[in-house]
Structure 1
Amino acid sequence: MAEKAGKSKLIIILIAVIVFLVIVGGAAVWWFMMRSTVAPTPAQIAQQQAKQKLQNTKFIDLGSLVTNLQSTDGNTHYIQVQIQLKTYDPSVEASVKSYMPEIRNGILLLLSAQNADTVSQPTVRDQLLQKIKELVNKVLETDGGALAKPTPEKSPPIAAVYFASFVVQ
């Protein structure tokens, strides 16, 4: 009788081990079949990031700005520009609108310091675009000057600045 009880315990343990191994094996097969077997290449990752950037691209119109220019000939000269800001973060538009008076003031001061004779040169225009980009990013990153230093971020809020129109009289 004791021998029969020992055999039945051995059979129960053996069945439990077999059931356990079947469950573990099934879980392993499921794990390897369900997960991706091929890791994305760096080119695929870059392509996906570029696609996401393109989907998030937003242009913000600052409207038309008109101011007088510095003049060496004694005449009054004016500049009228329309500026577009490019961002990859759609939430930046709300910040730009919040700081619009400060941004426009800074740009007007920058434009009015230009010389009427040289402002139409392509290199001067490119420098103006870069200075406007730096000015806008500084305003946005320092909360309108409330913070002493810009907050360290991966990329600035404004990626590029474009002139939609540029007229000098």
Structure 2
Amino acid sequence: MAEEKKAGKSKLVIMLIAVIVLLIVIGGAAIWWFMLRSTAAPTPAEVAQQKLQNTKFIDLGSLVTNLQSADGSTHYIQVQIQLKTYDPSVETSVKTFMPEIRNGILLLLSAQNADTVSQPAVRDQLLQKIKAQVNQILETDGGALKNPPADKAPPIASVYFASFVVQ
């Protein structure tokens, strides 16, 4: 009987030690989870650095079309356009929809008036229209989707003229 009490006490001591060790491990994990792990949002500098690393410029090549003219003469515009994105995978989509993108841009350019297209304000508006046109094509998969997803940032961040010639 004395041996049974010793065996029972030793089992109790082992279980007690196991429970204490388990509580220490759980407590340590809780302290790490709530206090030591990094939960801080990235700083603006970190976000900027990440964007800089992912920045990609996509060249659409040279586009030439005629312009609207009030005096009846023929005027042409030649532009080279660069698209800026922070998602390197967008380049594949741009290449896929390149004919559609170029067509949309040519339609926008040919609707411009030769007398006003050289004004800086008109150029800025034209860049914004090109950006909207390209984003619309990319976000709707060339028109396959009715509405672009509202929760994502647009694929093209900016549009730039690498060259701009009106004749």
Fold shared, TM-score > 0.5 on shorter chain: yes
Aligned residues: 167
For the residue of structure 2 that corresponds to 1:149, the secondary structure is coil
Q: Does 1:61 align with 2:39?
A: no
Deviations 1:44-94 (A, max 9, x none): 443333222221111100000011111112221111100000111111111
For the residue of structure 2 that corresponds to 1:55, the secondary structure is helix
TM-score (normalizing by structure 2)? 0.87
| Aligned AA (1:15) | I
Q: In the alignment, what sits opposite 1:154?
A: 152
Whole-angstrom distance in 2 between the partners of 1:116 and 1:15: 91
Deviations 1:93-143 (A, max 9, x none): 111111111111111111011111100101000000000001001111111
For the residue of structure 2 that corresponds to 1:134, the secondary structure is helix
Q: In the alignment, what sits opposite 2:83?
A: 85
TM-score (normalizing by structure 1)? 0.86
For the residue of structure 2 that corresponds to 1:84, the secondary structure is strand
For the residue of structure 2 that corresponds to 1:158, the secondary structure is coil
Single out whichever of 52-61 and 149-158 deviates more from structure 2: 149-158
Single out whichever of 123-132 and 22-31 deviates more from structure 2: 22-31
Consecutive unaligned residues of structure 1, counting only runs of 5 or more, are none
Match of 1:130 among 128, 131, 134: 128
Whole-angstrom distance in 2 between the partners of 1:36 and 1:55: 31
Q: Give 1:35 deviation, angstroms.
A: 8.4
Q: Give 1:153 deviation, angstroms.
A: 3.5
Q: Does 1:51 align with 2:36?
A: no
Single out whichever of 82-91 and 15-24 deviates more from structure 2: 15-24
| Aligned AA (2:48) | A
> What is the identity percentage for the equivalent residue pairs of Structure 1 and Structure 2?
63
C-alpha distance 36-50 of structure 1, shift in aligned 2 (>3 A):
farther
| Aligned AA (1:142) | T
Whole-angstrom distance in 1 between the partners of 2:19 and 2:30: 16
Whole-angstrom distance in 1 between the partners of 2:25 and 2:98: 61
